[in-house]
Structures are given as C-alpha cells and as structure tokens.
Amino acid sequence: MTKRPNIVFFHVDNLGMGELGCYGGGILRGADSKRVDKFASEGVKLTHYVVEPQCTPTRSALMTGRYPIRSGNHTIALGGNAGGIVRWERTIAEILSAAGYVSSCLGKWHIGAEDGRWPTDHGFDEWYGPLRTYDECMWLEDPHYVPERDGYSYMHEGRKGEGVKPILSQQLSLEMKKTCDLEYQGRALDFMDRAVAADKPFFLYFNHSLMHFPMIARDEFVGKSRNGEWGDCLLMLDHDFGVLLDKLDELKIADDTIVVYCGDNGAEDHLAGRGTGGFFDGSYFSSAEGGIRTPFVIRWPGHIPAGVESNEMVHVTDMFTSLLRFAGCEPPADRVIDGVDQTPFFIGRQENSNRDSCMVWLNEELHAIKWRDFKINFKRQQHFHDPELPLGFARITHLMDDPKEREPVNQRYVRWWVMQHAHRVVREFEESKKREELIPTGSPLDFVPRPYR
C-alpha cells in the first residue's frame, strides 16, 4: 500500500438503534439527523453491529481486538481509578503509531485512569477528555457531596512521553458537559490540520459525549427540536459529526479517509436521557439486542461501496483487525485476538461477513451466544434496571421471528439443534483460555498473562 488511509472513528456514547433517521428514528425522535443520514448513503450501513453492553468493555474490545473478559475490562470500574488495560496489551493506536501514524484521542477513554493506563501510554500522541465518564458532572449538584472529602473530577490532557495532568480550571460540571464537545471539535480540527501539514496519515479517535446523560445541549441548539432536551442533543450530535466531515472536504482528504460512525453500547435507560432500541428492545447494561446492537456506518470513497445496507454480523473486536488491515498493518500474532478481518466484506468482495457468532458477556457472566440470526440465552436481562433472570433451560430465539425477545419459549419449532453451535463457540473459548489465561479485573499494570503457545 503506497499511501495509508487516514482513520476517523466517531464514537457515540449510548446510541440506541432507534435514534437516527437512517435507522428508523430521526423525526420520530423529534430531530432530523440529516448529516449522518446522508453519510449512511455514502458507505456500508450495518444493522447487526454487535458491541458490549457497557462502555468500558466496548472501548477495550475496540482498542485491543479482544473480548474484554480476556483483558479484565468486562465492566466499568467503580470506586476510584482502579482497573483498566495492563501494559502488556497492544492497542490499535500503538500498532498504527509504529506504522507512521499520528494519533489523537478526544473525549472519554474509560479503560484506565492512572499512569501507565492513559491513552498516551498506549500509542496515542495526545489526549484530552474526562478522567472517567460524564455523569460525574452531576456530583456538584448533590447536596451531600463535599469535593474536598469525596474527590474532584477534572478534564485531563496529555501528550505521549509527557504524562497526563488534570486541568484544574476545568472541573467536570454541568456547564463543562454542555460545552466539552466543542472543545473536542476544536482540537480535532487542529489535529487534522497539523497531520496534513506534516504529510502524515492520522488516526482520530473522537468520542462524543452524547447521548450520555445528563442531556444538555449547547445554547444554539436549545429549543430547535420537537423533543425537548433529548431532541436538541440529537441535533447537536448530528451537527458536530458534520463539522468533521466538512473538515475532510476542506482539506481535500475525504477520499483518503476511512470514517466510522457507531455507538459504544445500546441506549440510555435513565429517565434523565432515555433512548430507544427501536426495532429491538433493551438498553445498555443488558444482554438484550437493544443493549448490544448500535448503528454502524463505514465510508471510504473509491474502496467501500456506497449505499449498501447489510444485516451481516460484525463485532466490535473486528474493527481492530479490519482497520489495521486497511492501514497495511497486521494484528499481533503473540496473543489471542478475537477480531476477524472484515475488509473483504466491507469492500464488497463478498456479501457475507467473516463472522457468524459471538459471545455476549454481562460483567463476568456469559449471558448468551449469538449464532447467525439465533440467540441462545443462558441468563437474561432486558433493561438496565430490570432484574437479572437465570434461565432453567437455554432460551433459543430467532431474532427475525422475535426481534424484541418477548417469547419465553419458541412454540412453533423445537430448535435444540441450534445448541450444537452454541456449544462449539463455548468450547473454542475454553480452549483459548488454556493457551492464554484471562487477565483478572484490577490486575496490576505489569501483569502478563501466561503466554500464547
């Protein structure tokens, strides 16, 4: 490959399948998502993009190409800064950096909040974002919260080799939540300007704060939708994505840039910003389809065909492998990588995905196996605030027959034959654990799993 493509990965926080116009939402949600809808017509749009039920696991899976149960990042870290990826993990940013890329991480990282675990410790040249996540902006509204006693949450920034520091003038507040995406945007535009001036391929990992609660739109969007604060925020999200697309056009590099637009997990369940799974049911922090499917569109003019819609399964780990291959890089061969190469599928060389199954973990428990359009549940939780239900027998759902997973049993067919495929996936995973141990949650930074043999 003579010229490596730039990569813009636009990650939306808590984006349900029913929010965007191109996925059946838009004006039904009170806001016309015209920029992303047009973008969806310019590339490949997936309806079966599978992520993890929470943001930390998904972000870990994207960065490493590995199920987060392997890296000890299968749940968000609660209480202090404990947890995150260990030094041994190799991220997509590290591999791209070795190939000559410059890289910037903007917004939420959420897979480590201490020295050795920052984005700039794992391949990124620069980072600006919150210490952990956005609901910490509400701490200041709690009458029982005492910052001097309970700790502060600041925005942070850092550069590779220079460490990461809190910006003491930027405590994460409701006002900061409202305006932080504008700061991300300005830094993103500057980063792209610098990369193009230096004639360097770039990787921009842009993590927008929406649609994470609390929903606070910038002043220019207030009252512009027909669905209050929530709709105003959807308009803002759509606008902000369009600004980055316009910059690619201005720099005349749109044809040289892979752009991915997707969510990190299903929709919000809090009433402060409740979203919808649309055609599916469920929310984030659940193993229902609405918790683990999000919109996904990928565009690369001249390489990825325009106007293609597919229900073929792609898992978030596949993006690690596929983006590396598009960049002319190879995934690591010295560890278990769960992501498969989807480049032949994305460029239209084949109609089928290179994946027909994946595992669905919720915290440390295996909730389901997905195989083609079947889902085999061993446990079930439909929404974040629902109780987790153990199932006496595995529940087999065909997701075209029952997309909202409502029926407790399938009464038309006896489908125990599907179990052989679920058992195969579990056996393969168990065999992989013999070759390389799982990294426990909260492992020290220098933990190294027993080697792949």
CA–CA gap between residue 30 and residue 25 (Å, rounded): 8
- Catalytic residue chosen out of the listed positions 11, 48, 55, 156: 55
Burial 67-103 (b: 16+ CB within 10 A, else e): bbbbbbbbbbbeeeeebbbbeebbbbbbbbbeeebbb
Residues 7 and 203: beta-carbon distance below 8 Å: yes
> How far apart, in whole angstroms, are the C-alpha atoms of residue 450 and residue 115?
24
Measured CA distances, 162 to 35, 119, 157, 171, 287 (Å): 37, 12, 10, 22, 40
Estimate the crossing angle of helix 174-197 against helix 228-250, to 10 degrees.
10
Alpha carbons within 13 A on the beta-carbon side of 96 = 32
Report whether the peptide linkage leading into residue 313 is cis, meaning its omega lies within 30 degrees of zero.
no
**Residue position matching structure tokens 């079966």:** 48
Pairing type for strands 6-12 and 202-207 reads parallel
352 is written with which tokens?
A: 């089928």
Peptide bond into 440 cis (omega under 30): no
Assess contact for 268 and 294: CB atoms under 8 A. Answer: no
For the question of residue 55 being annotated catalytic, the response is yes
57 and 32 in contact (C-beta within 8 Å)?
no
The answer to whether 344 touches 350, Cβ cutoff 8 Å, is yes
The alpha carbon of residue 126 and the mean position of all alpha carbons in its chain are separated, in whole angstroms, by: 19
Q: From 233, 312, 275, select the one nearest 47 (Cα to Cα).
A: 312
Could you tell me the two tokens for 179? Answer: 């305006």
Is residue 122 part of the annotated active site? The answer reads no
Question: Does residue 307 contact residue 314 with C-beta atoms inside 8 Å?
Answer: no
Largest Cα span, the chain = 63
> Active-site residue among 11, 48, 110, 367?
110
Catalytic residues: 55, 110
